[in-house]
Amino acid sequence: MKFFIDTANLQDIEEAQALGVLDGVTTNPSLMAKEGITGKENILKHYLDICNIVDGDVSAEVISTDFEGMVREGEELAALHPQIVVKLPMIGDGVKACKYFSSKGIKTNVTLVFSAGQALLAAKAGATYVSPFLGRLDDVSTDGMHLIEEIREIYDNYNYQTQILSASVRHTMHIVNCAKVGSDVMTGPLSAIKGLLKHPLTDIGLKQFVEDAKKMNL
């Protein structure tokens, strides 16, 4: 399973990259705003800064909600860097734009997916990635992980090449469960990725090893 980090914070991206396990980055307008990145030129430059840190795909989201606007923005984003993936909303014009970009060989990520039917439409439109938001489903007392399982079954049934990018990942068990059910990618915060490192028995064992090593007078 690929590990993406869901942020626009360059320090978090650099730290995840330094771990040696980072495969890509996802961003959105909210994450850009959180980092105080405003203005078209600054936003485009920030995408380039991210691409210069990581080796994998970087999802850059369009702002427009109409087909012509998505195509215009998406083409500009895709021209920035070969790693850029155009991120599109799961609406009618977003599906149309996905089909347009896939016919041009431009990678896409269809986002804000909350049902298996939506994921099926994205795959038929040729999406590179589909982003079901499992954490947000959990927030409204719906089993987000079940949605990942449903999409996996449908894609396997018909050999769709669209990758399941499990989004809105909140914690380490989300990551582990995504891996268990066959999600192709997960995207989440640095805290969730680093959380996989933690186990009390590791800490206890390492402490004992260090104490025993001191007795060896090395």
Identify whether 148 is part of a domain.
Answer: yes
Task: Provide the residue range defining the domain that includes 104.
Answer: 1-212
Residue 97 confidence (pLDDT) above 90: yes
Q: Is residue 218 part of a domain?
A: no
Q: What whole-number distance in Å separates Cα of residue 112 and Cα of residue 34?
A: 19
Average pLDDT on 37-43 reads 94
Percent of the chain with pLDDT over 70: 100
Here the CATH number for the domain that contains residue 72 is 3.20.20.70
Question: What's the confidence (pLDDT) of residue 215?
Answer: 84
In a domain, 206, yes or no: yes
Q: Which of 87, 124, 214, 215 is catalytic?
A: 87
Is the pLDDT at 212 greater than 90? The verdict is: no
87 is catalytic: yes
Residue 69 domain-assigned (yes or no):
yes
Q: Is residue 217 part of a domain?
A: no
139 within a domain of the structure (yes/no)? yes
Mean pLDDT of the chain: 96
- Residue 170 clears pLDDT 80, i.e. is over it: yes
Please identify which residue in the block is written with the tokens 């998406």: 74
Question: 218 pLDDT exceeds 70?
Answer: no
Domain membership of residue 30 (yes or no) is yes
Buried-state track 182-206, b at ≥16 Cβ within 10 A, e below 16: ebbbbbbbbebbeeeeeeeeeeeee
Q: What is the pLDDT of residues 114-154, one digit of tens each?
A: 999 999 999 999 999 999 999 999 999 999 999 999 999 99
Domain count for the chain: 1
Average pLDDT over residues 22-34: 94
109: β partners: 87, 129
* pLDDT (0 to 100) of residue 77: 98
Q: Is 51 within a domain?
A: yes
Sequence-distant (≥ 6) Cβ neighbours of residue 179 within 8 angstroms? 1, 186
User: What percent of the chain shows pLDDT beyond 90?
Assistant: 93
